Structure 1
Amino acid sequence: MMITTLLVAVGALATVPAAIASVVYARSSKATKAFFNPVDGGGSWLNNAGGGVGEPLNVVISGFSSPAVLTNDGILNYARAIGFSEECFGIHLGDPMSADLGDGHGAVNQTMELRQDFGFAGVGTCLESLVGGNHFRVYRQNGPKANSGALFLAVSKEQDVTEHHNIVPDGYNVGRDALIASAEGTKRFGGVTYTTKVERMFNLMPVGATGVNHGIAVDGTVALLTVHID
């Protein structure tokens, strides 16, 4: 009953138009590389979740994507197109996680954290906070040693609030694959149309559970998304 009531309330609020920053949507990028391997610059494919463990950076949005996608406003609008949005009423519980992308900046806190919105952009994440679902943290590779402009995402599927939002079994692989399924092809939001090409890069990160948060094993695959605005 509580979930049904929340869905009705969310549906009513979803008619409120989201404020989208005015940006120029370019079709091409000045990037010279899709991304740089963080390990080559002394970084890691795991972020820092505390206690000597981390969560996998298992999705990369290529630096060859349309430049507007790679801005803060751009990634938010794209996220809404593929079923994610800001946290419930902008409220974030828990400390931000940092990541070292090997770009010369060292460990930098996440740019933002976005959650599955169940089709109700801007407010549906309140439901995700209750029943669990997919979410991701965003990191930008733009340092002096490796300035690709690519966005590295730490994607995972989490349990509901009664389980304290812990990651579901196999939640890193499951979360990545769910995001891919939502993103691939043509999607639209806020008057913008996106086309996403997906490439799976096998064994790019270490396979297994060593150093991974919650001891949940990963399969080593990173998804590379190249997103163009049509």
Structure 2
Amino acid sequence: MWWKIIDRSRKEKKAIMRGKGKKKEGLLILTAAAAALAVILIFLSAGTKILSDYETGIAAAARKDIPKGTGITAENVSELFELREVNQSMLPGQTVTDLSQMEGKALSGDLQENEIVTEKDMNDLAGMEASMTEPTELTFTATSIGNSVGGRIRSGDVINVGITFQTDTGESRYRLAGEHIYVLEAMDDTGRPVPPEDTETACIMFRVLMERQDGERLLETLRDGDETIVTLPKS
């Protein structure tokens, strides 16, 4: 009967081999399926990126170079700006998407032609006035061109104002009279308004927007000083 035992042993070995073969086939199928899934995910990811690269958004852009301090009104907003479709990846934060949002504001810095406009590029004059209890305008003059940043201050700038004065011992001291004051208009020494695009004329006279009480204190301090000095706040 030994041959039957041998024969059965051979059959068992074949069955075991067939079982191992099926396991290997199963592993190969799972590996292939995983690889195929990975390829599909890669293609989906690439496709999503390609689609996102071509997504566009609406943004306001400058039609031309526009100097700092330019006031934006319902009458000139369409002459200065236009809405454009821009690649989504190129849009900065706080992008302006409606030209009417810009009315009543003034540029806080120079804008170049085709530059995208953001909320940070503008000062909200209407908002400033609305936040004040008693908004008032007042005008004062710096002692000299040298005391007004070389005459370079223009409408749209935010300035600090101070004075120099003599102490009882004869020492010259500086005192801050007002800070973060918005310039509505800059003028030359004759009182002629100088537009922001004029970068040659020196300005020493300024019309500013302030809270009434702050303005009264400012003028009182300026009267007590020997020199009136206008500076730009440190950024």
Q: TM-score range by the shorter chain?
A: under 0.3
User: For the pair shown, which has the larger CA radius of gyration, 1 or 2?
Assistant: 2
Richer in strand (by share): 2
**Higher helix fraction (1 or 2):** 2
